[in-house]
Amino acid sequence: MSLNLYNTLTRSKDVFTPLRPDRVTVYVCGPTVYNHAHIGNARPAVVFDVLVRLLRTRHDRVIFARNVTDVDDKINAAAKATGQPISAITEKYATIYRSDMAALGVAAPDVEPHATAHIPQIIALIERLIASGHAYTAEGHVLFNVPAFAAYGKLSGRDRDDMIAGARVDVAPYKKDPADFVLWKPSTDDLPGWPSPWGRGRPGWHIECSAMIATHLGETIDIHGGGNDLIFPHHENELAQSACAHHGAPLAGVWMHNGFLTMDKEKMSKSLGNIVTVHELLTRAPGEAIRWALLSAHYRQPLDWSDDVLAQAKRTLDRFYLALDQVKGITATPTNAPNAMIAALDDDLNTPKAAAEIAALVKALNGATTDAEKARLKGEVLAAGKLLGILQQEPSQWLTAAAPDTNVDAGEIERLIAARIAARKAKDFKEADRIRDQIAAMGVVIEDRADGTRWRLAS
Ligand code: AMP
Ligand code: ZN
């Protein structure tokens, strides 16, 4: 079995072979920290978290880097609008992003470089590009000269006219070519800036990633990822800068891009005002359900987000946890994720197929009759869940945990259940039924089993 990944650059699904036998390097473009991440922003975080988990099953050393863009005109605008210092904004939203992603079961990256901590490396990279004739200075700016890189446009497959229109460049008079893009720009006193050979200024967005990748992972990495809106211009430009600064060494072996999350089939974006933030969603649903909903579609396909998609994911997890709860007294046999699960993910991270595999395992667990079979299947369900970043909680905790904004009081329910048991013991079935209805009206389902009465939130 080998891992096959769709490569945006080759436009084909290729067998993944690490460039070096001793390590795998992955870089995903991270958030620009000036507001809350929306659920669309969480999609790449969750998708690449699954990829990294899968890589770690095979490779002892996977170095995963996800940057924080903490210098950007949108951040400057947010600081101005709110009257807060820039660093207060970036620190606040970077912290919120980390905790939101952790709530979705996304493991922290091994390296989390911040753009503002790499200004000397960025300047050095720009100097190399000037020295090699790929960049030039003009009126305090440094620009990358697109015609100097023949392969420009290969990643996005755009032709020249498209690129110029797509880059939405206001064609400044000092540009040698309309497609040229900024590596460094001058800063006025009220804007963040650093001294440089070209005067006080700040880096363009694209060069930040090129410099952070070279610093932490090397000239060529195995996998570079992000949402498909980043293919052009961001990744096209990263690719060009890095190759030109490193004597043609390619920036990445595989380029992976996730499809967009939409709402009523429209792209989720701030300008359309159809945004649901992860932060807000976490007050209404468990992070694990949000994660499972994000993985319900193949990562390259669009995913139309709705309350229904989320409710369905929650119900599925309830079913899985219920099956695990039934075998809570049985020790799981330790094992790796089953081959069928690995095979699904090996096929370009086919998470819908992986979801079907885990559902089949759960069904088999429900139907198991011997303790040995239950122990084996429980082990397989837990290992499969670990690979996908789900099912690692205590089942009873999941089944009784209220969604953060419901008013279910676990103590009150336990008290009612005890009262119902007492009523039944006293053969007061009318009272027992009344209590059951009272519990149901609270949105809680109870189940009488040989080992006692269990309760969970209705999904
Ligand atoms: P940004 O902070 O805007 O640079 O976005 C962070 C990441 O989220 C990038 O990888 C984007 O491509 C990705 N992204 C933004 N919007 C969406 C969306 N609606 N669906 C999926 N990915 C998105
Ligand atoms: Zn980037």
pLDDT per residue over 91-144, tens digit each? 999 999 999 999 999 999 999 999 999 999 999 999 999 999 999 999 999 999
* Beta carbon of 268 within 6 Å of any ligand 1 atom: yes
Work out which ligand 1 atom sits closest to the CA atom of 269. 19
Give the integer Cα–Cα distance in Å for 374 and 362.
10
8 A C-beta contact, residue 409 and residue 442: no
Tell me the two tokens of residue 219: 């000239």
Mutation choice for ligand 1 from 26, 27, 41, CB with most ligand atoms inside 8 A: 41
Tell me the two tokens of residue 259: 């499809």
Work out which ligand 1 atom sits closest to the CA atom of 303. 20
Give the integer Cα–Cα distance in Å for 147 and 125.
19
User: In CATH terms, are 4-263 and 306-393 the same topology?
Assistant: no
* Beta carbon of 179 within 6 Å of any ligand 1 atom: no
pLDDT over 90 percentage in the chain:
81
State in Å: Cα 41 to ligand 1 middle.
Answer: 4
Confidence of residue 169 (pLDDT cuts 50, 70, 90): low
DSSP β-ladder status, 261-263 and 62-66: unpaired
Contact partners, residue 394, CB within 8 Å, separation at least 6 = none
Query: What are the phi and psi torsion angles at 348 (to 5°)?
Result: 50, 50
**Homologous superfamily (CATH) for 4-263:** HUPs (3.40.50.620)
DSSP β-ladder status, 141-144 and 135-138: antiparallel
Domain boundaries, the chain: 4-263, 306-393, 410-457
Give the integer Cα–Cα distance in Å for 320 and 359.
8
* Beta carbon of 29 within 6 Å of any ligand 1 atom: yes
State in Å: Cα 31 to ligand 1 middle.
Answer: 8
8 A C-beta contact, residue 101 and residue 42: yes
* Beta carbon of 40 within 6 Å of any ligand 1 atom: yes
Work out which ligand 1 atom sits closest to the CA atom of 262. 19
Examine the pLDDT at 168 and tell me if it is beyond 60: no
Query: What are the phi and psi torsion angles at 169 (to 5°)?
Result: -80, 135
CA distances from 25 to 12, 55, 59, 60 (A): 21, 10, 11, 12
Query: Given the structure tokens 């020249």, which residue do they identify?
Result: 160
Give the integer Cα–Cα distance in Å for 195 and 323.
61
pLDDT digit string (tens) for 267-303?
Answer: 887 778 889 999 999 999 999 999 999 999 999 999 9
pLDDT digit string (tens) for 383-412?
Answer: 999 999 999 999 999 998 866 656 677 777
Give the integer Cα–Cα distance in Å for 299 and 297.
6
Query: What are the phi and psi torsion angles at 297 (to 5°)?
Result: -110, 155
pLDDT digit string (tens) for 298-331?
Answer: 999 999 999 999 999 999 999 999 999 999 999 9
Q: What is the CATH number of domain 306-393?
A: 1.20.120.640
Examine the pLDDT at 439 and tell me if it is beyond 80: yes
Instruction: Work out the mean pLDDT of the chain and round it to a whole number.
Output: 93
Provide the Cα torsion 188, 194, 197, 202; round to 10°.
-60
Counting ligands in written order, which one lies closest to the CA of residue 209? 2
